[in-house]
Amino acid sequence: MTTRLSRRKLLSHLAAGSAFGMSVSAIPGTSAYQQPQSKGNKTKEGDPIWEKVRKTIVEELGVPEAKVIPTARFVEDLDADWVTMYQLVSDLEQEFHLDASETDVKKFITVKDLVDYIKSPRSFIAEHPSSEHRRNPYPTDVMYSQDHEWVKVDGKNVSIGITDDAQESLGDIVFVTLPKIGTEIAVGEPFGTVESVKAVSELYAPVSGTVTDVNGELATAGEKINEDPYGAWMIKVTLKDLLELKSLLSAAEYKKSVGRQKSTKNH
């Protein structure tokens, strides 16, 4: 049986957790990094896309052909930085009709990553969250509430989700209940629930406004929040009062707040 946590209990629950810093094994470019395995599209000798990529790498980077294997890492094995990789992708764009952004290119750790991206850009991007969010539990492109929600601002519209600290504390998320489009939410008031293997916890609105979009996929795929909490937005809202944003925290302020909560609990 699950239990419903009040806001105070949820904060205590978070404070009792361990520190959620990323280990070196989660950082691309380190020797301990374990590259996520892409699904399907195995790279084989004779594959025309693989052969074209290998040829382009050899010609553009001057890398001995014997070194260009699927598991070769661009930075460590082929001495290529992301700027060089972006140029490499540009040389392949016309033939394969690519439209890779700098953010996409920074996700290419191995040669196989580039091959998989060419075969299915959408699938590759879905399987590889942005590098900043994967490395950093406190990204700077969002604002934070004391109740462990994040807010990404776009003019008078915002996207809302829960933070990395929140999903780590809750554990495996299995179900999410969210409001319908058109619902009015008020700052500090519940707007939905998250059910994990540990408990059912209420979500508190970090701002007031009207719900304009709902991520319905999360209702039956809560694990997406665990996998990429800052990519798995829950609702989008048109703000009622822009001044409410002043009460939100920056990444540095939120990180300190979480640290204080844990320190207070431990003492």
β 209-214/184-185 pair status: antiparallel
What's the CATH fold of domain 24-133? 1.10.1200
Task: Provide the pLDDT for residue 92.
Answer: 87
User: What SS3 state is found at 51?
Assistant: helix
Instruction: Please state, for a pLDDT cut of 70, what percent of the chain lies above it.
Output: 77
Q: pTM for the full model?
A: 0.54
Taking only the tens place, the pLDDT of each residue in 51-97 is: 999 999 998 888 898 889 988 888 778 888 777 888 888 888 878 88
Domain segments of the chain as ranges: 4-20+137-266, 24-133
Res. 36 pLDDT band, cuts 50 70 90? very low
Name the CA dihedral angle for 139, 140, 143, 148, rounded to a multiple of 10 degrees.
Answer: 30
**Tokens for 250?**
């920056």
Distance CA 116, CA 121 (A): 7
Please give the DSSP secondary-structure letter assigned to residue 249: B
Q: Which of 102-106, 218-222, 263-267 holds the top average pLDDT?
A: 218-222
- Is the predicted pLDDT of residue 258 greater than 80, yes or no? yes
- Is the predicted pLDDT of residue 253 greater than 70, yes or no? yes
Taking only the tens place, the pLDDT of each residue in 89-128 is: 888 887 888 877 776 777 788 888 889 888 888 787 777 6
Average model confidence (pLDDT) across the chain: 79
Q: Are 166 and 203 in contact (CB under 8 A)?
A: no
- Is the predicted pLDDT of residue 242 greater than 90, yes or no? yes
- Is the predicted pLDDT of residue 24 greater than 50, yes or no? no
Residue 62's region, left for phi above 0, alpha for psi from -120 to 50, else beta, is left
Architecture per CATH, domain 4-20+137-266, reads as Beta Barrel (2.40)
Rounded mean pLDDT of 200-206?
Answer: 96
Task: Provide the pLDDT for residue 30.
Answer: 36
DSSP string over 5-28: EPHHHHHHHHHHSPP-PPPGGGST
Of 81, 113, 172, 213, the active-site residue reads 81
Task: Provide the pLDDT for residue 209.
Answer: 98
Cβ density class 70-86: b for 16+ within 10 Å, e for less: bebbbeeebebebebbb
Strand residues in 62-189 grouped as ranges (E): 143-144, 149-154, 157-162, 173-177, 184-185
Look up tokens 């580039």; give the residue.
Answer: 114
Task: Provide the pLDDT for residue 131.
Answer: 47
The H or E element spanning position 193 is strand 190-196
Verify whether residue 81 is a known catalytic residue. yes
Q: Are 218 and 225 in contact (CB under 8 A)?
A: yes
Look at residues 165, 167, 193, 200 and name the one whose alpha carbon lies nearest to residue 179: 193
